[in-house]
Amino acid sequence: MKKIFLSFLFLIAVSAFSNQDVLIVEGKYQQKNLYVQNGFSGNGVGFCAYEVKVNGQVTTDEVNSSAFEIDFSPFKLKAGDKIVVEINHKEGCMPKVLNPEAIKPRPTFDLLSMDINKEAVLSWSTKNEAGALPYIVEQFKWNKWVHVGEVDGAGSPENHTYTFKVNPTSGTNKFRVKQTGFGSAPRFSKEVTYTSLMEKPSFEIAKDKKTISFSSETAFEVYDYYGNVLKKGFGTSVDITSLKAGKYYLCYDNIVTEIEKKK
């Protein structure tokens, strides 16, 4: 009778582990551990997750419980190192990682230098990046900071240098870069200024009320009175055929002005 009972338990175990799946979580090491909520298996025998691997290595974490911690300390990881976590679990259930943001990149860069040359090429050097995040290049114009481009960050602690060609407006320009990570406040560089001797462009609305023409190429945006962007681009003209008669805000060069499209 005892032999039959033991054989029955063995068959249950084999059946449970033959129906299995894996939950994969990837990120960068941020010197924090992961916490997992682990319910019962789909057939009610044992817990859902039964094995955890970090970068291909099986952990020694005690997973046979309703909640457990994935401890990264035994793996001697450095801040910013890539992490691939595999949580092997039984079919018909799903463990839940409670704090996935713990291995998502965050803006940690330290700015070493930042400058802009006569050709309007912005350059900056950084260190201590804890994960690959884009550097967002911003220009102050139209009474706000405007996104003008992005450069991919290297994501490692070593020194890195980046460049980006900007399109200055007439007069004095201000530029900066920032990074924004998962669940954290943006991290900003200092501001640098650039003075352009280019002539300030002018504009006019065509008599047929279909286009706005600029005297030279410029970035532009057209807003309604509620702050909605209706037109946006770069060039010497903007098609306003679709705009109804009324008043709008036109942003171009470093200017914000009110315009009216008449019937």
- Which has more pLDDT, 133 or 2? 133
Q: Which pLDDT score is estimated for 263?
A: 78
Residue 16 one-letter amino acid = A
Residue found under tokens 């481009």 = 149
- How far apart, in whole angstroms, are the C-alpha atoms of residue 163 and residue 116? 9
83-105: pLDDT as tens digits: 999 999 998 899 999 999 889 88
High-pLDDT (> 70) share of the chain, %: 92
Q: Which pLDDT score is estimated for 174?
A: 98
Question: Does 10 score more than 80 pLDDT?
Answer: no
Question: Does 6 score more than 80 pLDDT?
Answer: no
Report the pLDDT averaged over residues 228-235: 95
Report the pLDDT averaged over residues 141-160: 95
Question: Does 122 score more than 90 pLDDT?
Answer: yes
- How far apart, in whole angstroms, are the C-alpha atoms of residue 252 and residue 250? 7
Q: What is the mean pLDDT of the chain?
A: 89
What's the length of the chain? 263
51-70: pLDDT as tens digits: 999 999 999 999 999 999 99
* Closest CA relative to residue 153, chosen from 181, 195, 172: 181
19-33: pLDDT as tens digits: 469 999 998 888 899
158-175: pLDDT as tens digits: 999 999 999 999 999 999
* Closest CA relative to residue 90, chosen from 55, 58, 59, 45: 45
Residue 39 one-letter amino acid = G
Q: Which pLDDT score is estimated for 183?
A: 65
